[in-house]
Each structure stands twice: as C-alpha cells, then as structure tokens.
Amino acid sequence: MSLRDIINKNLTHWVSGNGPDNDIVLSSRIRLARNLENVPYPNRASAEEKAAVSKSVIEAISQQNEIKLHYIDLADLPEVEREVLVEKHLISPIHAKEGMEKGVLLNDNETISVMINEEDHLRIQVLIPGLQLDKAWEIANNLDNLLEARLDFAFSENWGYLSACPTNVGTGLRASVMVHLPALNLTNNIGKVLGAVSQLRLAVRGLYGEGSESAGNIYQISNQITLGHTESDIIDNLKSVTTQIVSQERQARKLLLQEQEIEVKDRIKRSYGILKYAYRISSEEALKLLSNVKLGIDMGIIEDVDQGVLSELMVLIRPAHLQKIDGKELTAAERDIKRAELIQTRLNM
C-alpha cells in the first residue's frame, strides 16, 4: 500500500470532510455527559459495575437500527492505537491510559464516538467539519434520545443530568468549535478578541486542550456553563460568538492583504517551500508552517493545495499516527524525518 493510500485510510471525517466556513472553522463538536442511575461513577465503581455499564450501553445500541456504532474495548488495543484515537480527538487522553472496562463506540466515518467509563459512564460526542453546531447537536440529541429510551440516566428535577464532576451537571452539554485565527494573530488582535470571548462565559484553549499553547493559531472555544441554560441557549451563544470571530478573522485577512501584502505572500510561500522540501521537521514547526499554508490557500495565494490540508495534517503528523503509518516505534528524531516525508506526500496529493 502506498503512503498516499495509507494517508487516505487514516483520515477521519472531521478532518477530511468539508463544512460551512471551513476556511476558519475547522470543526464543531457536541459532547453530552450521561450517567446510569444507581451505579457509582467510574472512579468509584468496581470492575464488575463498570463491565455492567458497558454491557447495558452496548445492548441499548444493538436494540436500535438508526445509528450504527461498533464497540471497541480499549484493553484490546495496543497503546499506539489508543493514542491514534486521542489524536483524532475521538477519545480523551485520560481514557487512553491503562484501566479496566474502558471502551468506545464509533460509527464508520468517526463523526460519532461514545466513551464508556471515562469520567462519566457515557460521553457522547459528535465531531463534524466546519461550523455546524446545530447539525452536531441534532445528531447527538438523537443518539441521546435513542439511548435514554433504553437506559435509565441519572437525572434530577432540580439539577438536570447528574455527572461525576459538578462542572458538567445540568445539560451535560459541552459545545465547542475549533477555529484557525492566523490573521488575528498576525495583526496582533488575537488577545483582544479572545479576551472578549472569555467574558461571554466561553472558554478558550489551544489545540491540545487546557493550558496548551495556541499551536498553529488554532483555538478551541467552548461553553463553560452547563447549568441554568437550555441546550439551545448554549449552542446559540457559541454559534453567535463564533460567527463574530469568523467575521473578525476575515476582516483581519483583508487588512493583511491591504497593508502587508508582500510580507504575507512571502511568509506564506516560504512556509510552503519549507514544508515541501524539509528533510525533517518538528510537529511544532510543522503546525506553524501549515497554519501559514492554510491561510495562503484561504486567501488564494496558494492554489494547488486543498483547504483540508491543515486539519488532516495536524492529526496525521502526531506521534501515534506517524508510528501507526510507519508500522513501528519511532524515536523523536526518526519521527521528524517521517513527518517531513508524510507532509510532502500529502502536499503532492
């Protein structure tokens, strides 16, 4: 199998698909935290209790035909495969760690994942490309309803859905978008924009979760509050803020072309040249350059590469993907070389 085939085979829908406003919004995500009534939360449950949780969830899924999910027991997966799921954003880093009775349900194109026995008994996730929070919500809500018809979810009239951590109580809903904001960075407006976002009860994080740097000018924006608002309030608020950010990023891009055309073209084209020819590259540098290249594609400066390249490569160049694609463990130095090769294969596709 050629490297091209392997790349295609390893792509998950949210990175390879297209969606609205995909020039700036890489993906939309809905996550629902749910727990079974009268069963201790996973951190306090026994192995038997957790096994029972898995069993009931798998049964509930098998009792309906609308959504087709297949179950993976994480204990059956080698570490590298678990890490691949983390890099695809399908399970959390904690869920990938050694542990009993952890599992995940996935649909074929990996837009739906249900973690079983992570922090909560169930974490339903829908992750799709572009700005489509409503659609993601619709899919997640539908799956939630199908499950709730067959399982007893812990629910209080006062508090709503109960969860292991109080920050998820209520709707159990976390809605988020992943946005690419290079022009706001280049025009030094990012601080102002993200500061304003924080004041709107939304959290901003870098690409790899809490506290991480904004590698590749990619930010995750999500609701902080799950309690005291309806699901549609939460989603509408995030959607409206995201739409404003998209418009500010687009304005910043126009401004860049007006005021720094030569500098910007040069920066973008050089980034592309280095990515196309480097013999080795760190993931940090690769993300930085890929961010420039995606900006170039979106601005019409680079014409022979498609828009999805950043989403695809930011996943494919991570350590577990590289090792899976290469079929063996790699040292950091070897990964830098394989990463460069992979990027070049993808850029020439």
Q: Catalog residues that contact its own copies under the rule CB under 8 A.
A: 262, 265-266, 268-270, 272-280, 333, 337
Cα(117)–Cα(50) distance, rounded to whole angstroms? 7
Q: 300: which 2 tokens?
A: 């019409």
Shortest approach of its own copies to residue 208 CB, angstroms? 25
Q: Where are the beta strands (DSSP E) in the chain?
A: 25-34, 70-73, 103-106, 112-116, 122-129, 155-156, 160-161, 173-180, 202-206, 218-223
Shortest approach of its own copies to residue 282 CB, angstroms? 11
CB-nearer residue toward its own copies: 3 or 337? 337
CB-nearer residue toward its own copies: 33 or 281? 281
Shortest approach of its own copies to residue 5 CB, angstroms? 25
The answer to whether residues 6 and 325 touch, using CB atoms and an 8 Å cutoff, is yes
CB-nearer residue toward its own copies: 210 or 304? 304
CB-nearer residue toward its own copies: 110 or 341? 341
Give the CA distances from residue 44 to residues 22, 48, 53, in Å, rounded to whole numbers and listed in that order.
Answer: 41, 12, 13
Shortest approach of its own copies to residue 276 CB, angstroms? 5
Local structure of 36: helix, strand or coil: strand
Shortest approach of its own copies to residue 272 CB, angstroms? 5
SS (H, E, C) 173-214: EEEEEEEECHHHHHCCCHHHHHHHHHCCCEEEEECCECCCCC
Shortest approach of its own copies to residue 337 CB, angstroms? 7
Shortest approach of its own copies to residue 328 CB, angstroms? 19
Element (H, E) at 47: helix 47-62
58-84: buried (b, 16+ CB within 10 Å) or exposed (e) per residue? Answer: bebbeeeeeeebeebebeebeebebbb
Amino acid at 94: I
**What value, to the nearest 5°, has the Cα angle with vertex 93 and ends 92 and 98?**
110
